[in-house]
Every structure is written in structure tokens, then in C-alpha cells.
A and B are shown apart, each in its own frame.
Chain A
Amino acid sequence: NAGVTQTPKFRILKIGQSMTLQCTQDMNHNYMYWYRQDPGMGLKLIYYSVGAGITDKGEVPNGYNVSRSTTEDFPLRLELAAPSQTSVYFCASSRQYEQYFGPGTRLTVT
């Protein structure tokens, strides 16, 4: 099993550009999550999903959108990138309690 995979690993965006961060898990987990982690800080929940077709906002959803059309995939869309969205983005999945994290995407907006 590959676990949770994220692409790309790194990305530099210009202000106002858009992009999609990809997340795929092969563990058949119902729950999936998107977090951002600013330098030296904890994780902030952006969006989460309890199953295909069901998503809900976390602590910091503004400027982001998600969709969950399949159990495996949970892409995160950034519209009109801003410098404040410079961060490391982690996707995670879980069956019940333990969350398995992907390796992260380091995003810089300049």
C-alpha cells in the first residue's frame, strides 16, 4: 500500500494564480482531511470529508475549495492565490481514530 500520496511536493505560485493540490489514499478510508501548517506552528484544519460526496469546513476554509467524488481522492483547490496561503499542506485519511498523513506539499505564493 502506498498510503496517502500528495502531488506536487513543491510549488511556487504567483499572486492571483490558481492550482489544485492532489491527494489520494489506497486504504479505503472514509474520512479525509486537509491541513495547513505554517512555520513553527500547529496544524489547522481547512476542510474534511466523512465520505464520498460529503465535505465540510474546518477552521480555516476561506480561499479554498474541495470536492470528494470518490473514496480515494480528495483534491484541494486554491483560487486566486495570496501570500497568506504560503504554507505546507498535509492531506490525511482515517478509518476511525488514527489519521495517516501524506508527505505534504510545500507551497510558496509570491
Chain B
Amino acid sequence: QQPVQSPQAVILREGEDAVINCSSSKALYSVHWYRQKHGEAPVFLMILLKGGEQKGHEKISASFNEKKQQSSLYLTASQLSYSGTYFCGTEGGNQGGKLIFGQGTELSVKP
């Protein structure tokens, strides 16, 4: 039950905003967001937990709708360094980070 991300790809100009969505068919305990640049390892951005707790980098914002089993990642005033592939990972319960990742959203920010 892999979560579904949308859009698959997005191209932005510097300074523009973007929203990346992650949707699951199962009830969720947590949603994790990672960014991966080409040829590199994924890097943690944020975790959103059932009940409203969030932990992550200050400049990243996200939402988690538990009823709809959806999460959205908000990228505002995009910079060139935001380019990469964004993955959401979901947990159905508190399983020590046993994540199922979505297929990814490729974000390209152009000057």
C-alpha cells in the first residue's frame, strides 16, 4: 500500500511556490518527508505525527490531515537549492520508522 504522491514532477522559477501531496489508502500514524538530490542520499525534512506534533526544519512547512490520510508539503519562495526529488514515507502505527515510501516528486527550480 504505497502512498501516492502528486504531482509526479513540477518545474518552478525561483521565488515561486509549490505544494506536493501524499495520499494513503490506510490510516496513518506518521508521515515523513525527505529530499534527495541526484546521486546523493535522502535527507530528512520533516515528520508529522498523528495528534498534530511536527518536527523538522524551520523553513519547511507541511500539513497532515489524519481523516483524509493525506499530507502536503509546502515549498514557498523556492530557491535553486530546493531542486531534487521529494519523497513521503508513511507509517501505519508506531513501528520504529518502518516506512513505506511514495514514488517521489521531482522538483526543478530554474533561475
**Interface 9-mer from B11-19, B68-76, B101-109:** B101-109
CA distance A42 to B55 in the complex (A): 22
Q: Which residue of B lies closest to A6 (CB)?
A: B41
- The residue that A33 contacts in the complex, of B30, B47, B97, with Cβ under 8 A, is B97
CB atoms of B2 and A101 under 8 A apart: no
Interchain nearest-CB distance for A28 vs B (Å): 16
Shortest A90–chain B CB gap in Å is: 6
A90-B41, A101-B42, A103-B41 in contact; A45/B100 too (CB < 8 A)?
yes
Identify which of residues 43-75 in chain B touch chain A, using a CB-to-CB cut-off of 8 Å: 43-44, 47, 55
Within the complex, which residue of A42, A44, A48 is in contact with B104, where a contact is CB–CB below 8 Å? A42
Across the interface, which residues of A come within 8 angstroms of B40, CB to CB?
Answer: 103
Output the nearest chain A residue to B88 by Cβ-Cβ distance: A42
- Cβ–Cβ contact B103 & A42, under 8 A: yes
- Give the chain A neighbours of B96 by CB distance below 8 A: 31, 48, 50
Tell me whether A94 and B104 are in contact (CB under 8 A). Answer: no
Q: Which of A31, A41, A103 has a CB less than 8 Å from the CB of B97?
A: A31
Q: Digit string of A31-42 for contact with B (CB within 8 Å is 1, else 0)? A: 101000000011
Interface residues on A, range: 20 to 34
Interface centre among A50, A101, A104 (most CB of B within 10 A): A101
B contact residues, range: 20 to 34
Is B98 close to A, CB under 8 A? yes
A68 to chain B, nearest CB (A): 13
Question: Are B99 and A45 interface neighbours, CB within 8 A?
Answer: yes
Report whether A42 and B44 are in contact in the complex, using a CB–CB cutoff of 8 Å.
no
- Closest Cβ of chain B: how far from A36's Cβ, in Å? 11
Contact with A43, one of B30, B42, B43, B55 (Cβ below 8 angstroms): B42
Chain B's closest residue to A35 (CB) is B101
Residues of chain A having any CB pair with chain B under 8 Å: 31, 33, 41-45, 48, 50, 56, 58-59, 90, 94, 97-104
